[in-house]
Chains A and B, each alone.
Chain A
Amino acid sequence: GAVVSQHPSWVICKSGTSVKIECRSLDFQATTMFWYRQFPKQSLMLMATSNEGSKATYEQGVEKDKFLINHASLTLSTLTVTSAHPEDSSFYICSAIPGRINEKLFFGSGTQLSVL
């Protein structure tokens, strides 16, 4: 099956620093990748849709200047949390689809971000 690799698995950083999370599709090309965040016992909340070669589409309420998304190739999308604050602490998960029609998502293993 399609494999999505996400790094790092966890990161602890000081308030005010920036953190980059990578999402790679290992055995397929992903025109579209999605970034989610998840709080404990809550549902996955879509943050943005990342399209290769174009600007990401952000969901309402998500600050695009704070959560920078780059999808420079068909196998790599990155999410940078800029000037992180404790309220940004969360579980961030990427997913990708091998094609246009989304019949199922393939997820990365997630990144637990803790901002001190």
Chain B
Amino acid sequence: SQKIEQNSEALNIQEGKTATLTCNYTNYSPAYLQWYRQDPGRGPVFLLLIRENEKEKRKERLKVTFDTTLKQSLFHITASQPADSATYLCALVPSSGGSYIPTFGRGTSLIVHP
């Protein structure tokens, strides 16, 4: 069966360090992968998209990598700040079947300590 796995344990890091979050998937052939940020009691906010033929994408302090061989995406936040504390969701959009509806992982909570 198709699975998207994100570490369910919260990631605690010190301010200024780089946070790295992992998204692994099985039995998927994603056309692209998205990362969202979700704050408590709020809807997710889109951050970045990376396509299957792209290895890396950057946006300000954010960097996403996509390894279709390992079936893994890594999401990095450099120079992390307490304001980066939130839950980060990855979502996969399939490349076949005609559906562009993303399927979400359960997210990983990031806590940045001052």
Interchain CA distance A109-B49 in the complex, whole Å: 21
Contact with A along B62-76 (1 / 0, CB 8 A): 000000000000000
Contacts of B8 in A (CB 8 A): 41
**Total number of residue pairs linking A and B with CB closer than 8 Å:** 50
In the complex where A104-B34, A104-B46 touch, is A34 in contact with B107 (Cβ < 8 A)?
no
Contacts of B93 in A (CB 8 A): 102
How many chain B residues touch A (CB < 8 A): the figure is: 22
| CB interface residues, A 90-116, toward B, < 8 Å | 91, 93-95, 100-110, 112
By the criterion CB–CB under 8 Å, are A95 and B106 in contact? no
Query: Which of B46, B101, B107 interacts with A43 by CB under 8 Å?
Result: B107
B88 to chain A, nearest CB (A): 12
B3 to chain A, nearest CB (A): 11
By the criterion CB–CB under 8 Å, are B43 and A103 in contact? no
Interchain CA distance A64-B43 in the complex, whole Å: 23
Interchain CA distance A100-B93 in the complex, whole Å: 14
A82 to chain B, nearest CB (A): 23
Contacts of A46 in B (CB 8 A): 101, 103
B79 contacts partner chain A, Cβ-Cβ < 8 Å: no
Interfacial residues, chain B to chain A (CB-CB below 8 A):
4, 8, 32, 34, 36, 41-46, 49, 89, 93, 100-107
